[in-house]
Chain A
Amino acid sequence: MTKVLVVDDSRTVRLMLRRDLEAAGIEVADAEDGLTAVGCFAEVDPDLVLLDIDMPGLDGYQTLQTLRQHGLDPAVPVMFLTARAGTDDVVAGLTLGAQDYLRKPCAAEELVARVTAALAVRSREASLRRRLDELSELTLTDALTGLGNRRQLDGMMRRLVRDEPDSPVAVLVADIDRFKDVNDTHGHLVGDIVLRAVADRIRTSMPENAGVGRWGGEEFLVILPGVDADQARAIAETARHAVRDEPVATGVGRGIEVSVSIGLAAGESGAVRELLALADDALYEAKRLGRDRVVDRTVLPR
């Protein structure tokens, strides 16, 4: 049920608004002045605020500003309902960000219609925002594996450099060994099954705050905030075993045995790009040494 917070110093007005809005199926909470509204809005969590202007203490304009400063969601519409009927008052209210401005006296039917219309707009906006979030999520997700994609990992590295350059971080680059042979022998559909299985096993081996993504064809990148080299080696070994200890079921035969080579480097978040280059070198070293292993290229501080 949608909920409206009514803020008016007149008990008569509060009672009338409650009666009219509740008759329209809208839940009502009320406050007798601006300060009371500021104190209770978080608990009320209104879908709309109906605000008088001339009140003792904070007036309606100040109340609106204070509510926003205290975290009232900008998507929650605020409507003024006031005896101030001048054009300059209306302009002042709308300029402050009110969705609508109703002059008293306002017929109950009109009031309910305007509140309902504002709530409908809010509902459509919320729906669009959810859709936008979903689309944003899609632009950051690898469609095949469901892991983050390159854009998401790039974003995470940018945030680390910008926000916490001195904090520890480890970077792992994992590559499926002889993946070309899987594709050539079993076909690309089976190759996709293997990619998904390896992605899943790597993801479940990682701490919750890790950024795990598909970096290239059969290459995965893991960013481990707050993790040093020793911890990173242990995590990498866990992931390597998770991949190799169980054949990947493809629906045919006993499955395909898969392994990964992993390069890693640990250091400070401000140098995460350099750590990625070191981890990449370490990956090639792991391949050169015979695959299915972890190589650490962490440069210890002197």
Chain B
Amino acid sequence: MNQYTDDLVAIAGDVSRTMLGTAFEPAPGATPGRPGLTACVQINGEWQGAVLVQCSVAAASAITRLLLRTEHVEPAEVRDALGELANMIGGNIKALLPGPSRLSLPAVVEGYDHHVSVPGTVELTTVPFLFAGDVIAVVLLGEVDGVSAVAERLAAEVVR
């Protein structure tokens, strides 16, 4: 567990409890399946990084049904709801990081064979949560100790 994991657990728990009425349950060691949806918000400024929320379409649909308190949800609503969830988690993570920085609008990727990367960042932590019998992963990408991954890699190449 690194310095960011506790923050992600607390923030994702608070967001899910407030918005859904039920908290995401941390599930250390759980392995997320292939995500059907990834919502991403980037943090740009003094600190560079991104927050990803990844889950199956079924889990995202369950989240959306709870948010909207309705049984039938449209795919566009599911994408929007997951994006908003990433936005809330990202906004609260950003408040804990060095600033000033800006939060991007959420982007949502759909499909079973995708990988999201943000140049200059590495995966700092991935926190799996259990929700509705499914695993939801919240991922924090960012610089390593204030030095971007790109800079770090360049420095390593110079040494070589």
A interface list, Cβ under 8 A from B: 9-13, 15-16, 19, 54-56, 82-89, 103-107
Closest partner residue, chain B, to A55 (CB atom) = B105
CB-contact partner of A13 in B84, B94, B100, under 8 A:
B84
CB–CB A11/B77 < 8 A: yes
B interface list, Cβ under 8 A from A: 14-15, 18-19, 64, 67-69, 76-77, 80-81, 83-84, 87-88, 90-92, 94-95, 99-100, 103-105
**Dominant secondary structure at the B interface:** helix
A257 CB → nearest B CB, Å: 80
CA–CA, A54 and B19, complex, Å = 19
CB-contact partner of B91 in A13, A19, A85, A87, under 8 A:
A85
CB–CB A83/B80 < 8 A: no
Given contacts A10-B83, A10-B87, A105-B19, contact A86 B105 (CB under 8 A): no
CB–CB B69/A19 < 8 A: yes
Residues from chain B with a CB closer than 8 A to the CB of A13 are: 84
Residues from chain B with a CB closer than 8 A to the CB of A55 are: 105
Closest partner residue, chain B, to A83 (CB atom) = B91
Known A83-B88, A104-B91; further 14 A-B contacts with Cβ < 8 A? A12-B68, A16-B67, A19-B68, A54-B103, A54-B105, A82-B91, A83-B90, A83-B91, A84-B91, A84-B95, A86-B99, A87-B95, A89-B95, A105-B88
A85 CB → nearest B CB, Å: 4
**Dominant secondary structure at the A interface:** loop
CB-contact partner of B94 in A12, A15, A19, A84, under 8 A:
A84
Given contacts A11-B80, A12-B77, contact A85 B95 (CB under 8 A): yes
CB-contact partner of A12 in B15, B67, B95, B105, under 8 A:
B67
CB–CB A12/B91 < 8 A: no
CB–CB B18/A88 < 8 A: no
CB-contact partner of B68 in A16, A83, A105, under 8 A:
A16
Residues from chain A with a CB closer than 8 A to the CB of B18 are: 105-107
B135 CB → nearest A CB, Å: 21
Closest partner residue, chain A, to B100 (CB atom) = A88
Residues from chain A with a CB closer than 8 A to the CB of B94 are: 84-86
CA–CA, A85 and B7, complex, Å = 14
CA–CA, A84 and B77, complex, Å = 22
B14, B68, B94, B103 pick with most chain A CB within 10 angstroms? B103
CB–CB B88/A104 < 8 A: yes
16 contacts across the A-B interface (CB closer than 8 A): A10-B84, A10-B87, A11-B77, A12-B64, A12-B84, A13-B84, A54-B87, A54-B104, A83-B91, A84-B103, A86-B94, A86-B99, A89-B95, A103-B92, A104-B15, A105-B14
Residues from chain B with a CB closer than 8 A to the CB of A105 are: 14-15, 18-19, 88
Residues from chain B with a CB closer than 8 A to the CB of A10 are: 80, 83-84, 87
CB–CB A9/B103 < 8 A: no
Nearest 6 pairs between A and B by C-beta? A83-B91, A105-B18, A85-B95, A86-B95, A12-B81, A83-B87
Closest partner residue, chain A, to B17 (CB atom) = A105
A59 CB → nearest B CB, Å: 10
Given contacts A11-B77, A12-B80, contact A88 B99 (CB under 8 A): yes
A40 CB → nearest B CB, Å: 21
A73 CB → nearest B CB, Å: 30
Residues from chain A with a CB closer than 8 A to the CB of B100 are: 88
Closest partner residue, chain B, to A14 (CB atom) = B80
CB-contact partner of A56 in B64, B91, B105, under 8 A:
B105
Residues from chain A with a CB closer than 8 A to the CB of B81 are: 12
Given contacts A15-B68, A85-B92, A88-B100, contact A104 B77 (CB under 8 A): no
